[in-house]
Structure 1
Amino acid sequence: MKVKIYKYIIRLFTVSLVSIMVLNIISLEVVKAAPFFDVRQTITQPNGDVIECYTSGDEFFSYLHDSDGNIIVQNTQGQYVYAKLENNIMVPSDNVVLPSGIAICDKIKITDVPESYIKMMREASPFYKQPEAELALSNDEYKLHPFLNETLNNIVIFISFSDFDFDKAYPASFYENLFNGDGNSLKNWFATASYGKTGVNSWIYPQIDGNTCIASYKDYKPRSAYEGTPYVDNNGSLQYRFINDDGSVTNWNGMAFPLFERAVNSIKSQVPLDLDLDVDNDGCIDYITFVMPGSIVYGNWILHPNQFCMAGNKTLKINGKKVYNYNVQVEEQLHDTKYVRAGVLAHEGFHIFGAYDLYSGASNIHEWDLMYSQMGQMPSTYTKYRCGQWIENIPEIKESKSYFLKESILDPNNCYMIRSPLSSDEAFILEFRKKEGIFDNYIPGTGLVIYRVNLKNNHILIDDDDPVTCFYPYRDTSVNLRLGDGTYAGIEISNISLVGDTISFSVNISNQKNALYFKDIRVAQAISKEINKDIKNITEEDLTKISELYINPVDQFDLPIDLDGIDKLVSLQKITLERCKLNDISNLKGLKNLSELRLVDNNIENIESLRDLKSLKILTLRGNLINDYSPVSGYYNNLVEKDFSLLNNDLYISIPNINTNKTIETIFINCTDFVPKKMYVTAERYTEDGKFIKRIRIDNVDLSNKNTQINIPEFINCQDGSYVVISCYERWDYKQLLARNVIKPVTFDMENTY
């Protein structure tokens, strides 16, 4: 089945692309792995005939097929037969697959199978979880990524089998460099992708005592016990069955989890007690990797690289931390020289940060993002933004003019986002990629990459009218961007030119306004709802009669509300703009009739535009980036409702007692009425000479009773001369400091530094 899609890749040559999905959270119940195609597979008919065929698919659905792509399934007698379609459902035919591979019969390929049936088969997988549902749960609450500005410790456990060990041609130093080296390594990939904002150190176990060969936990079972026996389930999907020691049949995780448990128990005593395995303080080990010897068995999640979790595990621990999320890696792929060897490590490791496989779902970014493939390339800037928060904000293009970009790998600010004036949900990301270096040498080419993102369900699309013949070299080139439904987005990109290490281009954004004046269709939609009138039918007179307006909050990764045109609402008395990601409120300056203005939880720094709004009786501003409230001092005392003071003395930290062990157990947060409803607290431990040891973050501390108690975890206490810094912030991103204290329990010193 060929689906018509659009793609904009400005580059030296083309590559075929379909669509993809990216998510910003970890789905711990879902196996995550890279797709595979045309992998050789041997199956045996009940009569003993050996059939050479192939496997293709991913973690949600994989299938057998012959060399021509014709799908093979099993009938109720266990025979491998060619599939056919009945009422748009894939069922076994009467045509048995022969060793010769020659059969005169009707056959079907995956492109013949209706999309609805493929979707059904994928959703029938025990590993499937609806990505949009996960995103809906994650977007409502603004939250800082727990691994941002932290260093994770990856526990790497090598496992061999009773009859199968690791290739001795690859010494222990090979794996040390692969995980921790300065070049082609997992550590360097994360350092480069995150612009130095996230570190990964890997610790290899069992420890090596002067041996040049890699050490491993040797299991008592042979490798064949973990290779399993392939079969095709009722949905036509390839599965594996395994045999326990008592002869009973089990599935892959029934076989894998006991193996991993034995491996963990064999090395856990070697892991230092002071090694931080739980940066986010959720009680689980952040990052653990099991490495298997030999080749990949595709679709077998014991011997196929993937990320999964030990759901329900309560007892398997290392230094008191539970084994939960884990990666599986296989020796064969780590030795492969076709791509950056660290690529598969980074692909599976990035899942732990919440990155989703980008080859599944309704869209596809192809080799421009590591989460599509595992060649070792960098993620797209949008994936960095959503999944690692390594890019704090993507700058928005609002004006029609010329722009330029440097490589996105060099700096987090080397990208742009353009909103469509015709859509509330869709925008376009622009970044410059160069086919060079350790990691991005494996992208399709050098050039300006443009892709559409749906900000609500997080689809990413790279579109093209003809992915086979279309290419855009660096010359005067014009591209009209399109929305997901194929209609014009109101944006044209032209004059694309590569000059040295930068790429320049021109942007022309349609001047079309919504409801006469509004660039942001979301503002027009709010007006439409308020007066119960279709946007297209709103008149000047309608706008002059509006006295109240409520604009819905936006999600964490949505675009800021643009207030351009709001000054046309000359009769406006009340407006709520909470959590709209506002930074520019200059358009409010002329609304002199306003009596109520709610601006909580935005990104506002300057409130000079509010100086002359002297009719205000209600003004709420907390959760912004405001350091100077003086512009509203002239009418501050006339406000009957406000949530801020003109001075920064609304909150202080106290310690009710320090126990006989000279440790901190509890702190109290005392505050006035002029504080946010919630606060965000960090407790950081430092050595006596100022070296950072450990940080915990406490989100959403309730300040409703004005005297809040916070219990300090044991691992942040100090008895060795170290000290603790307690910081209280106004915002979810741990900005806008309210109070900070340095506490030295050994000497009972407490210094208020803010």
Structure 2
Amino acid sequence: MVFADYAENIRQTITQPNGKIINCLASGDEYYHYLHDVNGYTIVQNPQNGFFYYGVRSGETVIPSKYIVGTINPASVGLEKGVRISEKLYAERRSLFKAPLKSVQGTPTKGLVNVLCIYIAFADDNVFTNNRQYYKDMWTATDRPSVKDYYKEISYNSLDLQIHHFPDSPDTITVCYKDNHPRNYYLPYSVTNPGGYTTDRMIREHSLLKSAVEFVQNQIPGDVDFDMNDDGLVDIICFVFQGAASALSDMLWPHAYYTFSHAVTINGARVGGYFMIPEIWYGVRTICHELCHLFGAPDLYHQAWSGKNGPDPIGNWCLMCTSTDPPQSMCGFVKYKYNHWISDLPEITESGVYSLKPLSQPTDNLFKIRSPFSRTEYFVLEYRKKEGRYESSVPGTGLVVYRIKTDVGDGNEGGPPDEVYVYRPGGTLTDVGNLSRAAMSSPERITLNDKTDPNCFLWNNGQGGPGGLDLFNVSAAGDSISFEVKINHLFPPTELNYSPGNGVVDLSWRPSIAEGLQTYYVYRNGVRFGTTALSTFRDNDVIEDHVYTYSVTAYYEGQYTGESEKSNEITYTPKGIQTLPYKEDFEQPGHGWRIKGSVEGFQWGDPATLAMQTINTSKFLGANSVAAGPGTVCSDYAITPRLNLVGKNKVYLHFDYSLKRWQQVDHLKIFYRLNRYENWVQIIDLPTSGYGDEFKWRKYNLELPANCYTAEAQIGFQYDDGKDMGYGAAIDNVVIDEEATSGIETNLENLTINLYPNPARDEITMDISGTPNGRVTVKLISIDGKTLWSKVCQYHMQRQETINLKGIAKGKYYIIVETADEIIVESLIKQN
């Protein structure tokens, strides 16, 4: 197994075969590292001619383009920045380094541990830059940050590292083992490096290390025990090679490795795992990170080239994610699970006031709280205090809350999902938020729950959702920090939803996982109506046009006995098949539209109940992403009753809508389906209705596709916040009719448009008539909402526009005529 700290923008110098010197950078970890220029364009060497080229993706890997580095501006020829190998190939490279010879739990984390350091130079190297005393101080100084001092403090004085440096050397210089091969021998083969390796890189590396060990064997005192856990293997051995790291070579990049192919022993213990560092990176920060791997800890950072990279899970709150200089502590969970310097993870199971000491203290420094919504995710709380030699490097002081996921393996290397994630303001499933402000304390941030920013969202298969943590009254930071927790043992069911049928309605909800659950009570119109042990229930007694409200409770027995609070309430009005004209103004609860009825989707109400600031004082359907919270996905269909559209020539959909968009994450789309058992088909992705603090309303007019003129057609309005915290959307005054009118109460349509010929080939003519309020924007868009042509005009009477369709693929498109108050949409068919 190999571990290494992720590095970015390490200076490198490469030389072209023609002698031109290129200054560039390197980034990556042990599994994959690569060269790039200052603007992020990848650089790779062509082994056939030795030149360095800008890289391009080819299948799973990166190959040289036709452009030699230093001869062109890569942006001017359209090259892509940051080209890297695929996630699949990265995973394969990672797996090649894993071996079972020595487990990561094998190195002792307590008591005396002897560390062996061996210094190596290549045949053509100069002497080491620094003398031996410099390296001794790096490991054992007491008046400044050092490796021994760091682990003594971080382990609460339970780990004592003794460092042994070889070959023997005066402190004024650094004597090293001098290899027989030059540095280029350990670089890849190319025309300009004919002695480099092809497939035998590991053989060369292990032969080098074998020779280095054998060179110093006779100098090592025989009474030093390098196998303190008696597993037959050397506990810790570090090889330091002269010079800089090279992104061209896996060997000449910092790494730890857990297999050794030669049977070489030191005082009776076989050399197994080791880590190898270039002289230029040989520092306290890097060594502490690598040693922490040997003490059991995995990496907690994300691989930057992963297609599912996701937000930084922890940042500077843990040595194993983003290490600092001087190095900060690893987070408490790592100390508990992997390093075993914290022996207990006490669980809070009752409501009350609790306190924590700083993580730098050996006791009372960690708490666990279960999530009532998950058996695989829970919360860990710790108090970080920005003080001292090492903890002064953390971003702030206060209570830090982590989410732990137990079923994703060790660490975050394949994440998301992550084993360890820290909550921070603005953090969501997709946004990193402000990691430096993760620590909570009075007076700035004193609460954390499902409605705060951040909220305690779970991973939940990538869908987010409530975590159920209720943390409040966090105190000011001092020698300790206190907080209150509310634990609800009688936890209610959540996410109640329904699916209508012929004369029936099927209810379903997210089941409780709390201990002692016996049954669920189903309430209809406020009265207990049924009992079930399942998380589903069918009501077989529903009548058309009657309004039904449903909620569910959970009943528990055992240590905590009683009935929970009610779940969210949903309203269902069974409707028969509707005929045209169909009109709905949403003023009454019996509208018959299918919605979630919770903060995760559309709800019915007025601006006050929906927390949506708007001049529309009537009732409507609204989805409020802000109210749902940054960690809760707000996504839902608002679905019409079934509509009989058979035999119609043209059917128009008219409605008022409001849509504010935050950084392009909010979307409101219109779909149709042939009946309630068929899949949805998208019609259009709506533009925003306006900007500003208030939700601005616009009228929309759309001819429905003839494909949906069936006996049980349904129209669906889908709002989706993109798994981020957007704004929201609302709809009102829906009319579906054979006439092109607008709205329920009054006809405010000022424009009419006519397209011909339709279908069209090379061009289409559009007649526009009416008296709009202000300017008119005309757009040609694709079915996925991409604008292909647009024009802004001022119309006061009939006007004609001709749109060139040459170069546009055949298919269905839309002409949109947009004013300040309304939007009219007409479809067109492009033929070849």
TM-score by length of 1: 0.56
Residues 389/253 of structure 1: CA separation in 2 closer, same or farther (3 Å cut):
same
Unaligned runs of 5+ in 2: 304-308, 411-418, 450-455, 495-509, 521-531, 538-555, 562-832
Give, in whole Å, the separation in 2 of the partners of 1:353 and 1:325. 12
In the other structure, the counterpart of 1:257 is 206
Give, in whole Å, the separation in 2 of the partners of 1:166 and 1:384. 39
Give, in whole Å, the separation in 2 of the partners of 1:222 and 1:90. 28
Residues 445/152 of structure 1: CA separation in 2 closer, same or farther (3 Å cut):
same
How far 1:103 sits from its partner (Å)?
4.8
Checking the alignment, whether the CA contact within 8 Å between 1:427 and 1:453 is kept in structure 2 is yes
Residues 349/71 of structure 1: CA separation in 2 closer, same or farther (3 Å cut):
same
How far 1:421 sits from its partner (Å)?
1.0
- Larger deviation: 276-285 or 249-258? 249-258
**1:115-154 correspondence to structure 2 within 5 Å:** 118-125=86-93, 147-154=108-115
Residue 253 (structure 2) aligned to one of 287, 298, 304: 304
Alignment identity in percent? 29
How far 1:527 sits from its partner (Å)?
11
**1:619-698 correspondence to structure 2 within 5 Å:** none
Are 1:505 and 2:474 an aligned pair? no
Are 1:521 and 2:513 an aligned pair? yes
Residues 382/537 of structure 1: CA separation in 2 closer, same or farther (3 Å cut):
same
Counterpart of 1:368 in structure 2: which amino acid? W
Counterpart of 2:267 in structure 1: which amino acid? N
**1:115-264 correspondence to structure 2 within 5 Å:** 118-125=86-93, 147-167=108-128, 170-183=130-143, 184-208=145-169, 212-226=172-186, 228-229=187-188, 249=198, 251-264=200-213
**1:311-710 correspondence to structure 2 within 5 Å:** 311-313=260-262, 315-334=263-282, 341-360=283-302, 364-375=313-324, 376-457=327-408, 458=410, 459-464=419-424, 465-466=426-427, 467=432, 471=437, 474-475=442-443, 477=445, 478-480=447-449, 481-485=456-460, 486-513=464-491, 521=513, 523=515, 536=535, 565-566=557-558
Aligned pair count?
480
Give, in whole Å, the separation in 1 of the partners of 2:288 and 2:35. 28
In the other structure, the counterpart of 2:4 is 33
Checking the alignment, whether the CA contact within 8 Å between 2:516 and 2:558 is kept in structure 1 is no
In the other structure, the counterpart of 1:291 is 240
Checking the alignment, whether the CA contact within 8 Å between 2:122 and 2:180 is kept in structure 1 is yes
Residues 125/191 of structure 1: CA separation in 2 closer, same or farther (3 Å cut):
same
Give, in whole Å, the separation in 2 of the partners of 1:130 and 1:119. 17
Checking the alignment, whether the CA contact within 8 Å between 1:515 and 1:537 is kept in structure 2 is no
Are 1:59 and 2:30 an aligned pair? yes
Give, in whole Å, the separation in 2 of the partners of 1:304 and 1:319. 29
Residues 178/54 of structure 1: CA separation in 2 closer, same or farther (3 Å cut):
closer
Checking the alignment, whether the CA contact within 8 Å between 1:229 and 1:241 is kept in structure 2 is no
How far 1:38 sits from its partner (Å)?
1.8
Residues 178/91 of structure 1: CA separation in 2 closer, same or farther (3 Å cut):
closer
Q: Which deviations, in whole Å up to 9, do the C-alpha atoms of 1:76-99 show, x marking residues without a partner?
A: 966654455678986665555434
Which structure would you say has the larger Rg?
Answer: 2
Residues 483/77 of structure 1: CA separation in 2 closer, same or farther (3 Å cut):
same
Matched position secondary structure for 1:191: helix
Give, in whole Å, the separation in 1 of the partners of 2:490 and 2:67. 60
In the other structure, the counterpart of 2:499 is none
Give, in whole Å, the separation in 2 of the partners of 1:497 and 1:283. 50
How far 1:350 sits from its partner (Å)?
1.6
Checking the alignment, whether the CA contact within 8 Å between 2:378 and 2:404 is kept in structure 1 is yes
How far 1:522 sits from its partner (Å)?
7.2
Unaligned runs of 5+ in 1: 1-29, 232-239, 335-340, 539-563, 570-754
Counterpart of 2:77 in structure 1: which amino acid? C
Counterpart of 2:117 in structure 1: which amino acid? V
Q: Could you say which structure has the higher strand fraction?
A: 2
Give, in whole Å, the separation in 1 of the partners of 2:391 and 2:465. 33
How far 1:37 sits from its partner (Å)?
1.1
Counterpart of 1:107 in structure 2: which amino acid? L
Give, in whole Å, the separation in 1 of the partners of 2:232 and 2:192. 33
Residues 506/490 of structure 1: CA separation in 2 closer, same or farther (3 Å cut):
same
Residues 565/163 of structure 1: CA separation in 2 closer, same or farther (3 Å cut):
farther
Give, in whole Å, the separation in 2 of the partners of 1:330 and 1:319. 26
Checking the alignment, whether the CA contact within 8 Å between 1:51 and 1:99 is kept in structure 2 is no
Q: Which deviations, in whole Å up to 9, do the C-alpha atoms of 1:94-146 show, x marking residues without a partner?
A: 55543454551222233x88xxx742131131555799xx9xx99xxxx9976
Give, in whole Å, the separation in 1 of the partners of 2:357 and 2:511. 28
Checking the alignment, whether the CA contact within 8 Å between 2:377 and 2:458 is kept in structure 1 is yes
Are 1:69 and 2:40 an aligned pair? yes
Are 1:107 and 2:55 an aligned pair? no
How far 1:249 sits from its partner (Å)?
4.5
TM-score by length of 2: 0.51
Give, in whole Å, the separation in 1 of the partners of 2:90 and 2:156. 36
Give, in whole Å, the separation in 2 of the partners of 1:166 and 1:440. 36
Matched position secondary structure for 2:373: coil
Task: Point out which structure has higher relative CO (alpha carbons under 8 A, 6+ apart).
Answer: 1
Give, in whole Å, the separation in 1 of the partners of 2:247 and 2:476. 42
Matched position secondary structure for 2:476: strand
Q: Which deviations, in whole Å up to 9, do the C-alpha atoms of 1:657-691 show, x marking residues without a partner?
A: xxxxxxxxxxxxxxxxxxxxxxxxxxxxxxxxxxx
How far 1:453 sits from its partner (Å)?
0.8
Checking the alignment, whether the CA contact within 8 Å between 2:352 and 2:486 is kept in structure 1 is yes
Q: Which deviations, in whole Å up to 9, do the C-alpha atoms of 1:707-751 show, x marking residues without a partner?
A: xxxxxxxxxxxxxxxxxxxxxxxxxxxxxxxxxxxxxxxxxxxxx
Matched position secondary structure for 1:262: helix
Checking the alignment, whether the CA contact within 8 Å between 1:95 and 1:103 is kept in structure 2 is no
Counterpart of 2:314 in structure 1: which amino acid? I
